Amino acid sequence: MQKKKIIIDCDPGYDDAVAILLAAGNPLIDVLAITTVAGNQTLEKVTRNALRIAKLAHLDHVPIAAGAARPLLRDQIVVAANIHGESGLDGTTLPEADYRVDCRHAAELIVETIMAEPEKSVTLVPIGPLTNIALAARLEPKIVDRVKEVVLMGGGFHIGNVKPMAEFNIENDPEAAHIVFEEKWPIVMVGLDLTYQALATAAVKKEIAGIDSQAAHFLTQVLTRFSENYKRSKGFDEPPVHDPCAVAYVIDPMVMQTRKAVVHVECWGRYSNGMTVTDLRRPAPEDCHTSVAIKLDQTRFWNLITDAVKNL
Ligand code: BDR
Ligand code: CA
């Protein structure tokens, strides 16, 4: 069976952790590299978290490289300690990783990995601010034609979270997001409209709590804290588990409905900065390279997650 090769660019973060577990535990996925970007917490903290999650997920053979510590043009991002805690994974117990971060910059690792693999065989899965991806596209423009597709968690066509119309990953580096969306690689935007359907309900958490594996125990800690923080900070009864939705699409595109639509990122708006302006007024033109995720098959999605942690 031909596995699907992916590079995960992330800022763990609770839901990034779930995305990594899903990728690691699914037999269809081959994780070629993990790269980190400042987002939910500082670059140093999210990189430490990525190393520790990778060890738990038996991905310690995979190169892990740190990337951008700040956005391309703007000041240091505002980290999401209200949701992910001071460490980025507060309330979880993970041993320190006993191996080192790759000496390359994340953008270099992304470029070298894509260029070393056959054409159209690698999918990029960015689940944090898009700074590393923009840098990689500028460092080696050939990657744009060479990747299979970019399946990213970010944006939204009807809704924002950090601002009325801006989602955290896009808002934190709109210029990088602009670069990424304007390149002509196929992009699937798995945005808030979709991820707000991926709620960790009481039933989901009960099922995961009943699985006897280290990964499932960690996942229970993650979902417990994530739920508490989302309730306290945003008033959600059940938290939306955003990032694994992008990985789930790579595993099984039938897990969600998507629709082709032109998307542009607003970088200059007074109130709309970071908005992913999506044209749903009419069918997209033939040459449209972007799709947006619309509807999630929730049962299929959570089955993928529970199966993955059983496998780990
Ligand atoms: C996104 O922002 C981060 O806090 C999450 O990890 C996710 O990638 C959701 O807006
Ligand atoms: Ca993230």
Question: What is the tens place of the pLDDT at every residue in 191-202?
Answer: 999 999 999 999
Q: At 107, which helix (H) or strand (E)?
A: helix 106-116
Residue owning the nearest CA to atom 10 of ligand 1 = 168
Choosing from 169, 170, 230 the residue with most ligand 1 atoms within 8 A of its CB, the one to mutate for a pocket test is 169
pLDDT of 266 reads: 97
The residue with tokens 């896009």 is 170
pLDDT at 63 over 90: yes
Strands 256-260 and 187-190: unpaired
pLDDT at 1 over 90: no
Interval between CA 36 and ligand 2 midpoint (Å)? 10
Interval between CA 177 and ligand 2 midpoint (Å)? 14
pLDDT at 244 over 90: yes
pLDDT of 100 reads: 87
95-134: per-residue pLDDT in tens? 888 888 999 999 999 999 999 999 999 999 999 999 999 9
Interval between CA 286 and ligand 1 midpoint (Å)? 31
The ligand 1 atom at the shortest distance from the C-alpha of residue 15 is: 6
The contacts of residue 45 (CB under 8 Å, 6+ apart) are 87, 88
185-235: per-residue pLDDT in tens? 999 999 999 999 999 999 999 999 999 999 999 999 999 999 999 999 999
10 Å CB burial of residue 232 (0-12, 13-18, 19+) is exposed
Residue owning the nearest CA to atom 4 of ligand 1 = 40
Mean pLDDT of 275-282: 97
Q: Give the homologous superfamily in CATH for domain 4-311.
A: Ribonucleoside hydrolase-like (3.90.245.10)
pLDDT at 78 over 90: no
Residue owning the nearest CA to atom 2 of ligand 1 = 168
pLDDT at 77 over 80: no
The ligand 1 atom at the shortest distance from the C-alpha of residue 195 is: 9
pLDDT at 76 over 80: no
For residues 275 and 266, give the distance between their C-alpha atoms in angstroms, rounded to a whole number: 5
End-to-end CA gap in the chain: 19
pLDDT of 79 reads: 87
Q: How confident is the model at residue 87 (pLDDT cuts 50, 70, 90)?
A: very high
**HSE-CB for 43 with a 13 A CA cutoff:** 19
Tally of CB atoms within 10 A around 94: 18
The set of catalytic residues is 242
Domain range annotation of the chain: 4-311
Please list every protein residue whose CB sits less than 6 Å from any atom of ligand 1.
13, 15-16, 40, 80, 83, 127-128, 153, 161, 167-169, 242-243
DSSP 240-279: B--THHHHHHHH-GGGEEEEE-EEEE-SS-SS-TT-EEEE
Give the tokens for residue 182. 């304007």
Interval between CA 168 and ligand 1 midpoint (Å)? 6
